[in-house]
Homo-oligomer: A and B are copies of this chain.
Amino acid sequence: SQECADQGDLTAVYVSDAQFNRNIFFDTSPQAVSLYLLYNHWAMQMIVYVFIFVDLALALFEDPAVIPMPIWGTSLVEMICLIVFTARLFHYAKVIPRIRFWKDPKNICIIVIILLSLIDIIIYGSLKSTGYNAVRWSRVLRPLLLVNVTEGRQLRRAFRSIRNALPQILYVFFLFMFSMLLFSLMALKLFGKRNLFTVDGEPYFTNFLDIVFDLYVLVTTANSPDVMMPAYNYNSFFALFFILYILINTYIFMSVFLAVVYNNYKKHLKEEVRQLVKSKRQKMLRAFAVLQQPGSGEELVVSQENWNQLVHLVQPDISNAHRELLWSISDDCNKSHIGKLAFVQLPDLLNIQVITMKSRPHPLHIWFPLLYDSSVSRLLRHAVKHKAFVYIYDLIILVNAIFIGLDEENPLIAYAEWAFLALYLLEILLKLYTWEPRAFFAKHQFWNWFDSVIIVAALVGAIVNLCIKSSDGYTSRQILDIVLILRVLRLIRVVDSIKRFRTIINTLIKIGPTILTFGQLILVVYYIFAMVGMELFKEKVKYLEADSTDPYKDSCGTPLLRGTTFAKNNYCKNNFNNVVSSFILLLELTVVNQWHDILSASVSHVSARLFFVFFHIVVVIIIINIFVAFILEAFFVEYTVEKSDLQTSLEKKIEELELSVDKYLLQKQLSCPFFCLRAQQSVHGFKAVWLYNNLFHLFFSGYKTVDGLLQRMFEADLSLEDADDMDDPNFSNITFDSV
């Protein structure tokens, strides 16, 4: 029995690894398996991310700091983080075979990062305590932890995509540089000898390297008319030179960059997803090998009982209705056992989001049946369910928008605000009266949660504000800010009423998780650039408050910037003096505009130029283009790709079960629970199903994971090959080193 439990654990681990695309070759001994389960526990993963976050956040407290802390304090915290990472690594070493551990570059990376950080802490501490100057160079390595932890799969994949696209990007980049150099040479020859001057009185286009830099900035459009004006003022024909330059380098080459990045990104992602699908199959075949029993004929099968146990182990919170639905899809012919092919589908089935929901009577209906069923109450509920109710509230929101735009210090407007708040509260209460509260606040009812949280928060804020005002006699600016923001956020709800907007918003929400991966990618790159930038440029530019007595207050605390555009435009706060302002500065550089002005503030000229050009190439040309490529691809998928086979068979099965949607209810929206209103919401189309004498609803709403979305992207190309894999006679004999 113990052995059985162990075997169950093992297969459950295989299935959940397949489901979440984990690729860890763990030891299959019972101890290792239970350690592995612990390793994958969400709490353990959470701890790792919390400590990575703490480690990264240390930059706020280290010199140059936002909030200064003594060196021993930050060092201590960093040591604790390093200990946690080491412990996590030890845990990992216990889970997988030793040889695997040392072969994995991820682990080597983490070990190197930990060791280098330790060395750096010691050197820095001892140098500082003896009064020497020192640089915390190991901070550049910190964000690499995000990439190298076991959970950073998505991020690693993004980095691999970039690395693979790099050669192609480089060829285009060299051609682009060549074109830029030719234009620079031409500019030198055409304008250099003409004694022209820029607005600042500098000689115009006389130094080759300056020209190259100016023309590079022109590609980013940041100095667009300025760089042209002296030549254009001299002779209108010279505008032709710049028009040609912009056409070729800004429009054509930048589009070619996007094309190359997009094309390569797609190609390599496809390859990666193919590998994922393959290894998922392998894991499921290993799980099958553990559970298999001889069936009728030669076929090996898995019984329904074993399958149920397995699903229960993998996903303990799955509802019976959901599990039975999945089984009935797998066991198409009702044989109460399934073969290899059907078994392998399990992780995909589990990855399809099916929302189960009990359809309960309204509590008021139980407590006060007569009152709740009275004709007035019925009329009220009917009214709330009517379309007009939605329209009326859309109108109220629009009127509210106008009131928000008016001056809130006018007492009339302030009173109106209370009236609006009351109206919104009334709306929520009416809806709660009409629909069953637990259904109204179900996990997937995004807009209900959104409305309620915003309204309740606004109410609390308004009351707190009122209290403070009546007690102290003045308004707290912070709380008022929050109240005002909440007021504006309320208006977002209008979007949900317009169908065309909903589809666009839903697509955006779908690709949300992947945008988070890009967020991590940007974080890693920004952090590295911020650390380097802080070491190179800190305190070169100072932001001085208005009451400062510094003689160079108007030129950012340095005589070098007196009279520059930088100082004139009040850009002093755009500096590398702490990690927060560094990040904001890097964002401004990503947006590109004025970046040449921002960089001109850095006193060390050449290193600043190199730093910024390199940043531009990495972030704007590569990462932003990959971001655009991903959004393009995601939108195309949403617009064009058909539902996957599994999705269709799920829907078919739901209909086959003859527990079909009560269409009358859905159309009339009479006694249907609230979410029926949103029935057409999803791009895939929801399905509301009465199951087990009206006790359950099953919703079907697409894929849970990013990998699911990715696999769906390339499904058309993959399905055929995968079928080949299944026929491959060697396929079921694949062995791992760890087996």
Contacts and interface: CB of A to CB of B under 8 A. Distances in A.
A221 B262 CA distance: 23
Contacts of A259: 631-632, 635-636
A491 B182 CA distance: 8
A205 to B, nearest CB: 13
A405 interface: yes
A487 interface: yes
A246 B501 contact: no
Contact of A584 (B243, B481, B485, B569): B243
A593 B185 contact: no
Contact of A256 (B404, B504, B515): B504
Contacts of A573: 229, 232-233, 236
Nearest to A630: B255
Contact of A221 (B239, B568, B591, B632): B591
A226 interface: yes
A189 interface: yes
A223 interface: yes
A135 interface: no
B495 A175 contact: yes
Given A232-B573, A405-B188, A255 B632 contact: yes
Which of A239, A408, A640: most chain B CB closer than 10 A? A239
**Residue with the highest number of chain B CB atoms closer than 10 Å, among A189, A408, A639:** A189
Interface in A152-209: 171-172, 174-175, 178, 182, 185-186, 188-190, 199, 208
B233 A485 contact: no
A594 interface: yes
A580 B236 contact: yes
Interface string A427-455: 00000000000000000000000000000
Interface in A10-53: none
A258 interface: yes
Interface in A220-278: 221-226, 229-230, 232-233, 236, 239, 243, 246, 250-252, 255-256, 258-260, 262-263
Contacts of A251: 624, 627
A189 B223 contact: no
B190 A221 contact: no
Contacts of A485: 186, 189-190
A667 interface: no
Nearest to A409: B193
Contacts of A481: 189-190
A174 B498 CA distance: 11
B405 A256 contact: no
Contacts of A632: 255, 258-259, 262
A260 B584 CA distance: 30
A260 B568 contact: no
A294 to B, nearest CB: 46
Nearest to A188: B405
A199 to B, nearest CB: 5
A224 B588 contact: yes
Nearest to A240: B584
Interface string A626-643: 011001100110011000
Contacts of A262: 632
Contacts of A232: 573, 584
Contact of A591 (B239, B250, B570, B639): B250
A574 interface: yes
B186 A225 contact: no
Interface string A462-490: 00000000000000000001001101110
A444 to B, nearest CB: 22
B587 A243 contact: yes
A233 B543 contact: yes
Contact of A404 (B185, B233, B258, B404): B185
20 contacts: A182-B488, A185-B404, A185-B488, A185-B491, A189-B404, A190-B485, A199-B569, A221-B592, A221-B593, A224-B591, A224-B592, A232-B584, A236-B584, A239-B584, A252-B508, A252-B515, A255-B628, A255-B631, A255-B632, A259-B631
Given A221-B592, A225-B571, A252-B631, 20 more contacts: A172-B504, A182-B488, A185-B401, A186-B485, A188-B405, A224-B592, A224-B593, A229-B571, A233-B543, A233-B570, A236-B580, A236-B581, A236-B584, A239-B584, A246-B587, A251-B627, A259-B635, A259-B636, A263-B639, A593-B593
Which A-B residue pairs are the 3 nearest by beta carbons? A224-B593, A259-B635, A189-B484
